[in-house]
Amino acid sequence: MRDIAKEAGVSVSAVSLALRNSPKVSKKRRDEITKIAERMGYVKDGRISELMEHLRTNRTDRKFSKLAVLIPEITKAQLTTYPVPHKLMSGMEAQAHDSGYELDVFYLPELKASPKRLRNILISRGIQGVIAMPWVSGVGTLDLEIEAFCISTAGYSIIDPMVNRACTNYLQMMDELIEQACRLGYKRIGFVMTYPRGGIGHKLFASSFLYYTSLIEESRRIPILPKSEISPKNIQSWMKEYEPDVVISDGSVYNIMVQLGYKIPEDLGFAALDTAKGPDDASGVDHRHEIVGREAFKLVLSDLALNTKGVPESPKVVLVDSHYQTGSTLRRVGRTLDVRIRAATYHDSDGGITLVK
């Protein structure tokens, strides 16, 4: 534009106005500048023109770019009753605000659209980026032709198609829970698995726990009680047979323990796999779902910047570290046990952590 302005003997802003056919420049001058631009081989970049038009619009009148959030299984009214997707959504909304985007949320049970119609709806609204929420019931698939979209998901729930995903670090969080129990002197750690078989979360939690059991004497090893066997009767039998002094699980199992008459933490320690699922003031790990939601949003932004759509050739996994949260369901019951879970650390007898080089 500078070269055109120099040739025409006008300012760069006058050239810009003329090429946009603005009435602020006389028709005669517009025609002169347009001819010079054509002679010099000027070609308008549609994307830059669209962006500049967006920036010139009054802020209150702007139409912000949108990303779609697809929520399977649950309705809008049910969202607040499911803490994980509710927190994920909070993180996505915060990141959308920071990035200058809006979210178009689709509750699939309410929409009741075929995959083809859903695709057409997204395209008709000019949406290029999609974030798929996890299934609340376990693992599942996303029935959508995604070739036209930049897409990511949160968590390991969606197993088909394999897209970029942001997840909490399940292996690290189980390591943290076991180490904290050992630090407080618990000797018989039991684990009630509330994740369904086949999911990555199930495998990673089990891997960490089974590695821990390989480090201790056989007499202290307690088998995992699987999700399929969770009931008051089975938990009572499992407790009686193996006598754990601390149980790692989630809020639903905590409630059963209380119903069975266990006083926590006086009779039994309890470590929560996810403090978002209760109980209130639980000792356990915060999955930081809001940050996971933010990272899932950023994965789509990255693909939009690179114009990378469809199923990625090499799907990326962004891991968000959890945070241990001190609560009222664990207490010190004895001297710290020296059990190495993570290769880089072990616990001293005084409860400190020493790096292993």
CATH code assigned at 8:
1.10.260
- At 347, is the pLDDT very low, low, confident or very high (cuts 50, 70, 90)? very low
Q: Taking residues 334-350, report their average pLDDT.
A: 63
Cα-flanking dihedrals φ and ψ of residue 331, to 5°? -145, 165
Q: Taking residues 66-84, report their average pLDDT.
A: 93
Per-residue model confidence (pLDDT) at position 52: 54
Residues 56 and 75 in one domain: no
Q: Taking residues 29-47, report their average pLDDT.
A: 78
User: Nearest 5°: CA angle at 336, between 332 and 337?
Assistant: 130
Residues 75 and 159 in one domain: yes
* Tens digit of each residue's pLDDT (9 = 90 or more) over 177-215: 999 999 999 999 999 999 888 778 889 999 999 999 998
* Tens digit of each residue's pLDDT (9 = 90 or more) over 217-226: 999 999 999 9
Residue-range definition of the domain harbouring residue 8: 2-61
Contact 66, 127 (CB under 8 A): yes
Pick the last residue of a domain from 17, 38, 61.
61
Contact 140, 103 (CB under 8 A): no
Per-residue model confidence (pLDDT) at position 266: 96
Query: How many Å separate Cα 37 from the centre of its chain?
Result: 49
Q: Taking residues 287-293, report their average pLDDT.
A: 95
Residues 107 and 181 in one domain: no
* CA end-to-end span of the chain: 61
Residues 110 and 248 in one domain: no
- Beta strand 345-347 with 140-141 is unpaired
Q: How crowded is residue 102: how many other Cβ atoms within 10 Å of its Cβ?
A: 13
pLDDT at position 62 over 90: no
3-state secondary structure the chain: CHHHHHHHCCCHHHHHHHHCCCCCCCHHHHHHHHHHHHHCCCCCCHHHHHHHHHHHCCHHHCCCCEEEEEECCCCCCCHHHCHHHHHHHHHHHHHHHHHCCEEEEEEHHHHCCCHHHHHHHHHHCCCCEEEECCCCCCCEECCCCCCCCEEEEECCCEEECCCEEEEECHHHHHHHHHHHHHHCCCCCEEEECCCCCCCHHHHHHHHHHHHHHHHCCHHHCCCCECHHHCCHHHHHHHHHHHCCCEEEECHHHHHHHHHCCCCCCCCCEEEECCHHHCCCCCCEEECCHHHHHHHHHHHHHHHHHHCCCCCCCCCCEEEECCEEECCCCCCCCCCCCCCCCCCCEEECCCCCEEECC
Which of these, 262, 255, 218, 259, lies nearest to 240 by C-alpha position? Answer: 262
Strand partners, 68: 104, 130
Distance from C-alpha of 138 to C-alpha of 275, rounded to nearest angstrom: 18
Pick the last residue of a domain from 43, 61, 79.
61
Distance from C-alpha of 53 to C-alpha of 45, rounded to nearest angstrom: 12
The number of C-alpha atoms within 13 Å of 107 and in the hemisphere containing its C-beta is 11
The number of C-alpha atoms within 13 Å of 265 and in the hemisphere containing its C-beta is 22
Residues 85 and 130 in one domain: yes
CB burial of 16-49 (b: ≥16 within 10 Å; e: otherwise) equals bbbbeeeeebeeeebebbbebbeeeeeeeeeeee
What Å distances lie between residue 100 and 6, 54, 63, 106, CA to CA? 36, 12, 10, 20
Residues 243 and 329 in one domain: yes
Residues 152 and 98 in one domain: yes
Residues 104 and 201 in one domain: no
Residues 146 and 218 in one domain: no
Give how many domains the chain has, as a whole number: 3
Residues 72 and 151 in one domain: yes
Percentage with pLDDT > 90 across the chain: 62
What Å distances lie between residue 207 and 132, 201, 344, CA to CA? 27, 10, 18
Q: What is the CATH number of the domain that holds 142?
A: 3.40.50.2300
Alpha-carbon dihedral sign for residues 60, 131, 123, 302? positive
Q: How crowded is residue 214: how many other Cβ atoms within 10 Å of its Cβ?
A: 8
Per-residue model confidence (pLDDT) at position 54: 52
- At 286, is the pLDDT very low, low, confident or very high (cuts 50, 70, 90)? very high
Computed over every residue of the chain, the mean pLDDT equals 87
Q: Tell me the angle at which helices 12-19 and 27-39 cross, rounded to the nearest 10 degrees.
A: 100
Strand partners, 131: 69, 152
Residues 346 and 241 in one domain: yes
Residues 182 and 255 in one domain: yes
Distance from C-alpha of 357 to C-alpha of 344, rounded to nearest angstrom: 7
- At 139, is the pLDDT very low, low, confident or very high (cuts 50, 70, 90)? confident
pLDDT at position 345 over 90: no
Pick the last residue of a domain from 35, 61, 87.
61
